[in-house]
Structures are given as C-alpha cells and as structure tokens.
A and B are shown apart, each in its own frame.
Chain A
Amino acid sequence: MRVSEHDAAHEAAAQRVTDFLRRRREQIAQRWADAPLFRTVFTVSRDEAVEACKAVVDALAEVAADGRLEDISAPGFAAVRDQLGRTAASRARTGSSPAQIADEVAGLRAPVTELLRGEFADPSAPEAHEAVLTLAVLMGTLRLVVMETALDAGEELIERQRLQLMEVATPVIQLWDGIVAVPLIGTLDSARSQVVMESLLEAIVDQRAEYAILDITGVPTVDSLVAQHLMKTVAAARLMGAECIVSGIRPAIAQTIVHLGIDLGSVVTRAGLADALAYALGRQGIVVPGRPAAGASRS
C-alpha cells in the first residue's frame, strides 16, 4: 500500500510540475534567456534566446507529462536535442570546458525552482517539497541530455577532422613538366595510402607525368605494412607508365628496413627530395648546372 501511495505522490508531483512548466512557460523562458548558457550564445537577439528557452521548457513539460523524468532518451527531448547540441557546441567553440557547460546547464535550475516555490502558499509543505524534487530530477536529466549531445558533436568533429586530415595531408605537387611529387606526412595506414595512391594516379594522368616522387621524410615509422603500401603504389604508378622514386629515407629508417627484411630492390630510392628530382630531370635529359659557388658546372 505504501508503495502505491508513494507512486501516486510521484505521479502527482510530475503532473504538478508539468502544469507549472506549461503555465509559466513565458516567465521561465524570460529568466533562462538571461542565464549565461543562452545569453552568451544568442548574443544578437534576445527574442531568439527566449524562443529557444521556450522550446526547452516545452520539451521538459512533455517529458514530465510522460513521467519519464530520468530517461535521457525520452521522446520529449528529441525536438530540442539539435538546438541544445548547437548551443553546447557554440559554448565549446568559445573555449568552455565540458564541466563549465555542465555547470551552466545546472545554472538553469535555480531560477525555475524559485518560480516553482512561489506557486505554493506554504513552500515547506510536503507536496511543494516533492514538486521541487521532481523538477530537480528533470533538470538533472536535461543536463545529461546536453552533455550527451555535446559529446556526440565532439565525436562528429573528430571524424570530420580525420577525413579532412586525410585529404589535406596528401597533396600532389607538380615539380617540373612531367614530374609530380607527394610529400607523405604522418601515419601511412591503409586508408591514407589508398587516398595517396588515388590522388597520385590521378595526377599522373592529368599532368601526363613520367616520374612520380614519393617523399617519406615526414613518415615517422616505416614498418612492413607501410613498405607494402609504398610498393603497391609504385607498382600501380608503373602500370600507368610512370616511374616512381621513393625519397626521404632517413638513416635510422634505412637500417630498420634492412633488419625487417623488406626488399626495396625493385624501387628506385634516393636520400632526399632534391636527389630524386635531380634523378628524374637527368632521366629526361635535363642537366642541372651546379651552384655558381661550387665552381664549374657539372656536365
């Protein structure tokens, strides 16, 4: 019996909070619009902030009406999830830490609790206490929803950056008529090397390149997988009629490759990018004279 009484009290409190949120929607929104979370995001128009706050109040009312006070996946939140995510993301962009954003969401509780207390003639009555408690639970859930959307947005950002990095890090540069180069930087995993191979082969076709230089100065580790990717790229370029030169093999990497037992004998290699370019030019019959300071030009 006690349990059902308890449940009934919960339900009554949820109902009371729902009614309160619907009835005082305007006042709550007005107060929230001045809270740091919304004020700092909607800097141009206060009306927009108020509208955004109203949407959040509506969502909370719906969640309370459904009695799903602690459910962060309650359908009521669906309508504001996007908006809350954007709000949190815009706070994060200006340098707020997740903890600060969580604090700001928590800061919404005090103004609305104050309004709710004002609803009761006797704020110390049990039903007033129960209602305030219910509202606190609801606001805690809102905070979790905001954090969840913020984290999702962060993951999306990381994924987007990963893709961007993949493209940015593999430019194909035309060094000379018929000579293209790809300076490889960072980890050459399967996905990256696929991008490298594609952009290199495209460049070979577009620029009618006969020589392609793969410079690995910026690749920190050459293990057997990286070597395999390099050899595949070289083989593919060869099929397109271009000769590949791998340059930028540092002494430590050269020793490691030998110990690993990788046979790069079929690949033309040069220590530096300049050597590789000189080789490619020489093969095209272009003789580059030495620097004037070095004296007579090499013939």
Chain B
Amino acid sequence: MMEVLPRRPAPIALPIGSDADLARVRQHVRLVATELGFGLVQQTKLVTAASELARNTLVHGGGGQAEITPLEEGHRTGLRLSFVDQGPGIRDVALAMTDGYSTGGGLGLGLSGAERLVHEFAIETGPGRGTTVTAVAWVTGVPAPRSGAGPRRPGAR
C-alpha cells in the first residue's frame, strides 16, 4: 500500500446501510475483480471477504462505506477494499481477531476469516474513533501467502 497507482476501473465508494447494500458491494467487488483478471477462486475469496467486512461495518459500525480501489504496482495488479465506519470502534483488536469470538451472535469468523482470504490486512480503530478495515489482494497464479505475511497489522495477534 505504498506508491500504488490506481488504474482502470476507477475507484468507487459504495454506501453500506442495509442488507441490500451488502449485495451491491459483493456484486461490485466481483465485477471489478473479474475485470482486473482475478481467477475464480480469488474472486470468490475477495467477494466473501468483502461480504464479511461489509457486514461488520453494518452490524458493528452502524453503517459506513466500502471503498473499492484497483491497484497497480509494477507488474502487479491488485484490489484494495476499505470498509470505513464511524461506529464505536474496536476496544481489543487482538480479541476481535480471535477465531470464534463474536459480539454479534455470529460464528466469530468475520475478521479473522477475511484476513485469511486476502494478502494484506489492516485495522485502524480505537474506542470512539470508528473503524477502518483495509484488505488488499494481488492477482496471482500461486496460492495466497498465509496470514502474517501482510506488512501492517497494528495490534493483531
């Protein structure tokens, strides 16, 4: 996420305020990922990660927006998904990232699962500061590097 230049298609911000918006975010991520040349498995992973993170924005953040930004860095093509809310923030990121920990009655796999589905993952949050979750995936022929390879993960396990 350093000097990366956006390329076609254009970055877009979508509102997240209802279940219908989640479907729109998923559809748009799939569309952009396909255009950028992501394979079917990676597309599915990205769409699923987007679905998890967008739902977090809706359920825990009280709504916000999703920013979908195509990336180009050297010969690499990628996609950055940012989910921004002005909600209460996450008090304990390490705990929130724990498999099976949930405050919303779900399976507790949203954050940690999404992290495993992408290459880079970052959370910026604090009590009362809202939450921004950023996930980046690069078009690749080889399997995604395991979690932990992402360069910036403040406060993660």
Interface 9-mer from A45-53, A248-256, A275-283:
A248-256
A221: which B residues are within 8 A, CB to CB?
26, 44, 47-48, 51
Tell me whether B93 is interfacial, beta carbon within 8 Å: no
Q: How far, in whole Å, are A210 and B113 apart by their CA atoms in the complex? A: 34
Tell me whether B107 is interfacial, beta carbon within 8 Å: yes
Partner among A220, A222, A228 whose Cβ is within 8 Å of the Cβ of B106: A228
Q: How far, in whole Å, are A195 and B52 apart by their CA atoms in the complex? A: 22
Contact string against A for B residues 90-127, beta-carbon threshold 8 Å, 1 for contact and 0 otherwise: 00000000010000001101101110110000000000
Asked whether A256 and B117 contact (CB < 8 A) given A224-B106, A261-B99, the answer is yes
B51 contacts A223, C-beta separation under 8 Å: yes
Q: How far, in whole Å, are A223 and B113 apart by their CA atoms in the complex? A: 9
A228 contacts B107, C-beta separation under 8 Å: yes
Number of B interface residues in the complex (CB < 8 A): 25
A-B contact count (CB 8 A): 67
Residue of A nearest to B23 (CB): A187
Q: How far, in whole Å, are A224 and B50 apart by their CA atoms in the complex? A: 12
B55 contacts A225, C-beta separation under 8 Å: yes
Tell me whether B41 is interfacial, beta carbon within 8 Å: yes
Tell me whether B45 is interfacial, beta carbon within 8 Å: yes
Do most interface residues of chain B lie in helix, strand or loop, or is the interface mixed?
helix
A260 contacts B109, C-beta separation under 8 Å: yes
B109: which A residues are within 8 A, CB to CB?
224, 260-262
Asked whether A261 and B48 contact (CB < 8 A) given A225-B55, A228-B106, A228-B107, the answer is no
Residue of A nearest to B143 (CB): A255
A227 contacts B107, C-beta separation under 8 Å: yes
Q: How far, in whole Å, are A261 and B115 apart by their CA atoms in the complex? A: 11
Partner among B23, B44, B47, B107 whose Cβ is within 8 Å of the Cβ of A255: B44
Partner among A187, A190, A224, A251 whose Cβ is within 8 Å of the Cβ of B41: A251
B48: which A residues are within 8 A, CB to CB?
221-223, 256, 260
Do most interface residues of chain A lie in helix, strand or loop, or is the interface mixed?
helix
Number of contact residues on A: which range applies? 20 to 34
Q: How far, in whole Å, are A191 and B116 apart by their CA atoms in the complex? A: 28
A223: which B residues are within 8 A, CB to CB?
48, 51-52, 55
A260 contacts B113, C-beta separation under 8 Å: yes
Tell me whether B31 is interfacial, beta carbon within 8 Å: no
Q: How far, in whole Å, are A3 and B23 apart by their CA atoms in the complex? A: 55
A191: which B residues are within 8 A, CB to CB?
19
Q: How far, in whole Å, are A51 and B117 apart by their CA atoms in the complex? A: 65
B113 contacts A259, C-beta separation under 8 Å: yes
Asked whether A220 and B47 contact (CB < 8 A) given A227-B107, A260-B116, A261-B112, the answer is yes
Tell me whether A189 is interfacial, beta carbon within 8 Å: yes
Residue of A nearest to B55 (CB): A225
Tell me whether B43 is interfacial, beta carbon within 8 Å: yes
Which residues of A from 230 to 286 have beta carbons under 8 Å from B? Answer: 251-253, 255-256, 259-262
Asked whether A256 and B44 contact (CB < 8 A) given A221-B26, A223-B52, A224-B113, the answer is yes
Q: How far, in whole Å, are A225 and B44 apart by their CA atoms in the complex? A: 15
Contact string against B for A residues 177-207, beta-carbon threshold 8 Å, 1 for contact and 0 otherwise: 0000000000101110000000000000000
Tell me whether B40 is interfacial, beta carbon within 8 Å: yes
Partner among B26, B43, B52 whose Cβ is within 8 Å of the Cβ of A224: B52
Q: How far, in whole Å, are A189 and B48 apart by their CA atoms in the complex? A: 14
Q: How far, in whole Å, are A260 and B23 apart by their CA atoms in the complex? A: 19
Task: Please give the distance in Å from B5's CB to the nearest CB on chain A.
Answer: 29
Known pairs A187-B23, A227-B107, A252-B44 / 11 extra A-B pairs, C-beta < 8 Å:
A187-B26, A191-B19, A220-B30, A223-B51, A224-B106, A225-B106, A252-B45, A259-B116, A259-B117, A260-B113, A262-B113
12 A-B pairs (CB sep. < 8 Å)? A221-B44, A223-B51, A225-B55, A225-B106, A228-B107, A256-B117, A259-B45, A259-B116, A260-B113, A261-B99, A262-B107, A262-B113
Binding site for A on B (CB under 8 A): 19, 22-23, 26, 30, 40-41, 43-45, 47-48, 51-52, 55, 99, 106-107, 109-110, 112-114, 116-117
- In the A-B complex, the 7 residue pairs with the smallest Cβ-Cβ separation, listed nearest first, are A260-B113, A252-B44, A223-B51, A224-B109, A252-B41, A224-B107, A259-B116
